[in-house]
């Protein structure tokens, strides 16, 4: 009799823990449909590894393609070791104009991001049972489906409907439950939620 009561108590405690764990996870609304956009967001911040196309008006000899170095700086003709990380393309263009202004009159510079990785704050990280866990650059209007295509979907051992999204909002860490398996295998479009820069997706392994 005591063993039966102990089992009942254990089951009740387990249910309480499970309910408490579920309560910590919020519910995200489905992402609204938007036209595909392959570029970074409008306020994109340049990061190490980004490929930049720099055009100097009426100065083709100064117009070049450069890659931001791991130290966050870039170099081009007449401009050396200019900090680039954490700036928008427009901000970097103004800084280049200031540097070039020492050599030419009223330079006009345009910076276009051709290949983008962005700083860590602009990346989306996927860990756990994804086919190819990795950090990927955030793109404008990115959704969960976009992320899963990028990482190659789930492994056969993944518990996709128990995945968690960790997001920092107003200085606080919040957790949301994701239903990735329902999205990918059942086509449940309500599970296709909007992804934001800095999000972390954790995909656990199935216990079965």
Residue 208 inside a domain? The answer is no
State yes or no: pLDDT of 14 exceeds 60. no
The CATH number of the domain holding residue 9 is: 3.10.560.10
If one compares 184 and 5, the residue with the highest pLDDT of the two is 184
User: How many separate domains does the chain show?
Assistant: 2
C-alpha span between 205 and 208 (Å, rounded): 9
C-alpha span between 190 and 88 (Å, rounded): 33
| Residue 125 and residue 194 share a domain | yes
In the numeric block, the tokens 């990785």 are attached to 117
For 71-94, what is the mean pLDDT? 96
| Residue 160 and residue 98 share a domain | no
pLDDT digits (tens, 9 = 90+) for 114-170: 988 888 888 999 999 999 999 999 988 899 999 999 999 999 999 999 999 999 988
Enter the pTM of the model: 0.72
Q: Are 194 and 170 contacting, i.e. CB atoms less than 8 angstroms apart?
A: no
Q: 3-state secondary structure string, the chain? A: CHHHHHHHHHHHHHHHHHHHHHHCEECCCECCCCCCCCCCCCCCCCCCCCEEEEEECCCHHHCEEEECCCCCEEEECCEEEEECCCCCHHHHHHHHHHHHCCCCCCCCEEEEEEECCCCHHHEEEEEECECCCEEEECCCCCEHHHHHHHCCCECCCECHHHEEEEEEECCEEEEEEECHHHHHHHCCHHHCEECCCCCEEEECECCC
Q: What's the CA angle centered on 135, arms 129 and 136, to 5 degrees?
A: 115
Q: Closest Cα to residue 28, out of 207, 200, 205, 190?
A: 190
| Residue 144 and residue 82 share a domain | no
| Domain span holding position 65 | 51-115
For 14-41, what is the mean pLDDT? 59
Pairing assessment for the beta strands 25-26 and 172-178 based on DSSP bridges? parallel
Q: Closest Cα to residue 169, out of 187, 151, 141, 194?
A: 194
State yes or no: pLDDT of 92 exceeds 50. yes
| Residue 4 φ/ψ, nearest 5 degrees | -65, -45
| Residue 73 and residue 94 share a domain | yes
In the numeric block, the tokens 């102990």 are attached to 6
| Residue 76 and residue 125 share a domain | no
If one compares 202 and 170, the residue with the highest pLDDT of the two is 202
| Residue 144 and residue 83 share a domain | no
Query: HSE on the CB side for 156, CA within 13 Å?
Result: 0
State yes or no: pLDDT of 9 exceeds 60. no
| Residue 79 and residue 126 share a domain | no
Q: Closest Cα to residue 190, out of 158, 161, 150?
A: 161
Residue 158 inside a domain? The answer is yes
pLDDT recorded at residue 104: 95
What six digits make up the tokens of 185?
């295998």
Residue 177 inside a domain? The answer is yes
pLDDT recorded at residue 37: 61
When mean pLDDT is compared across 2-6, 50-54, 155-159, 175-179, the lowest value belongs to 2-6
């Amino acid at each position: 009799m005591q063993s039966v009561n102990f089992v009942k108590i254990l089951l009740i405690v387990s249910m309480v823990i499970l309910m408490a764990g579920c309560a910590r996870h919020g519910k995200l609304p489905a992402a609204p449909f938007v036209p595909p956009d392959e570029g970074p967001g409008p306020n994109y911040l340049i990061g190490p590894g980004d490929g930049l196309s720099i055009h100097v008006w009426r100065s083709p000899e100064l117009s070049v393609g450069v890659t931001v170095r791991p130290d966050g700086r870039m170099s081009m003709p007449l401009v050396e070791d200019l900090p680039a990380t954490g700036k928008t393309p427009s901000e970097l263009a103004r800084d280049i104009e200031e540097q070039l202004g020492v050599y030419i009159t009223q330079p006009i510079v345009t910076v276009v991001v051709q290949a983008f990785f962005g700083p860590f704050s602009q990346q989306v990280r996927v860990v756990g049972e994804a086919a190819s866990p990795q950090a990927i650059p955030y793109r404008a209007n990115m959704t969960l489906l976009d992320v899963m295509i990028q990482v190659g979907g789930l492994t056969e051992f993944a518990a996709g409907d128990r995945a968690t999204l960790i997001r920092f909002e107003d200085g606080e860490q919040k957790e949301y439950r994701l239903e990735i398996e329902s999205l990918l295998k059942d086509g449940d479009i309500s599970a296709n939620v909007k992804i934001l820069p800095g999000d972390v997706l954790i995909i656990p392994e199935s216990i079965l």
